[in-house]
Amino acid sequence: MARAIELSERTSLVESAGGAFGAVIVRDGKIIGEGANRVVAENDPTWHGEMAAIRNACKAEGSFKLRDATLYTSAEPCPMCMAASYWAGIKAVFYAATIGDALEYGNFDDSMIYGEIKKPLTERSIPIKQILRAEAVEVWKKYKEKTDRVQY
């Protein structure tokens, strides 16, 4: 956790690359990936510390799954980062600062996203409509029959 907090300090206070978010992924007592928020520096709203740590760990491990790995993050993960943790198969998450701390000291507010996710599709603030399902399903059918596809 100390390394995650160190990364958060460097990216936010020294580099001014983004918010005070740093993360490391550990397996068997060894850091296999780390990352820091670089949303501002990279003009990329997905460049969160946890996302970078997951990408770096997966690359280092040569796998899109991080089974038996633990995520240490300087702040409670946002919805995107928590979802990525599930997708990566991370076994545990430890965080330091809370969502409330990020709101109070950095004005980071994810409450709208949490609220939007709970709404039916027709009530969300970003319009979402289904189109060309039949065409997309044809690709899915072919994918289902693909003998060399990687299961995940």
Active site residue 50: yes
Q: Where are the alpha helices (DSSP H) in the chain?
A: 2-9, 39-42, 49-61, 79-88, 99-106, 111-118, 133-145
Catalytic residue among 15, 50, 138, 145: 50
* 9 and 49 Cβ atoms separated by less than 8 Å: no
Q: How far apart are CA 73 and CA 87, in angstroms?
A: 17
Q: How far apart are CA 69 and CA 73, in angstroms?
A: 13
Would you name the residues annotated as active-site residues? 50
